[in-house]
Amino acid sequence: MSRIGKKEIILPAGVTVTVEPQAVKVKGPKGELQTPVHPKVGYAVEGTTVTVNRVDDTRIARAQHGLRRTLLANLVEGVSKGFTKTLEVIGVGYKVSTQGDVVSLSVGYSHQVEFKLPSGIAAKVEGNKITLAGIDKQLVGETAARIRRVRPPEPFKGKGIKYETETIRRKAGKSGGKK
């Protein structure tokens, strides 16, 4: 039995879960999200808890059990608290700024890179840090990864765009003089 799938999801105050034939909808103070249902997985909403059960013991049902429970838990957390990812821009002359839903990156290219944020994602810039916030965990993570791809950190000087918690494995440069 899936250890993650067995865990109950506790609903915070103000969050409601509606199970429909095609999707599970979660509504909370920050917004509304939905995730598709799988025919091998069932949902039971009892008061302030949601339980995810599998219909049978096939391999597909076992795989979907933990996955669907985690997806639902992420929706509940998203509509109640939201998710954030912080990126750091490191390098001499590297700058970042926002104008509405566009993030402008000056990261060593001959031009500024304009990155349009998807709807549902907000960006805040403080110095060399970009903080992305939203209610959809997948969308926040994918947006952060796409911004990081503009200039990934390099291992020699550590210049580039990295996650705040990421550590860059540094390499030694070329060895000393010739003999």
Check if the beta carbon of residue 12 is closer than 8 Å to that of residue 75. Answer: no
Q: Domain boundary residue among 80, 99, 117?
A: 80
Claim to verify: residue 90 and residue 159 sit in the same structural domain: yes
Per-residue pLDDT of the chain (179 residues; tens, 9 = 90+): 568 888 999 999 999 999 999 999 999 999 999 999 999 999 999 989 999 999 999 999 999 999 999 999 999 999 999 999 999 999 999 999 999 999 999 999 999 999 999 999 999 999 999 999 999 999 999 999 999 999 999 999 889 999 999 898 888 888 755 55
Residue 113: exposure state from Cβ atoms within 10 A (0-12, 13-18, ≥19): middle
Claim to verify: residue 47 and residue 64 sit in the same structural domain: yes
Predicted confidence at residue 176, as pLDDT, reads 56
Is 51 within a domain?
Answer: yes
Kindly state the tokens that stand for 42.
Answer: 């069932």
Residues 74-106: b if buried by 16+ CB within 10 A, e if exposed: bbbbbbbebbebebbbbbeebebeeeeeebebb
Q: Which helix (H) or strand (E) holds 46?
A: strand 41-46
C-alpha 66/C-alpha 104 separation (Å) is: 39
* pLDDT value, residue 77: 94
- Residue 178 belongs to some domain of the structure: no
**CATH code of residue 159:** 3.90.930.12
- The pLDDT value given to residue 76: 94
- The answer to whether position 119 is within a domain reads yes
106-117, pLDDT tens digit by residue? 999 999 999 999
Taking the C-alpha atoms of residue 175 and residue 178, their distance in angstroms, rounded to an integer, is: 9
The domain of 98 spans 83-163
67 and 103 both lie in a single domain: no
Q: Say how many domains are in the chain.
A: 2
pTM of the entire structure? Answer: 0.87
Sequence-separated contacts (24+) of 112-115 with Cβ below 8 Å: 113/150, 115/146, 115/147, 115/150
pLDDT of residue 117: 95
pLDDT value of residue 67: 93
How many CB atoms lie under 10 A from the CB of residue 126?
A: 9
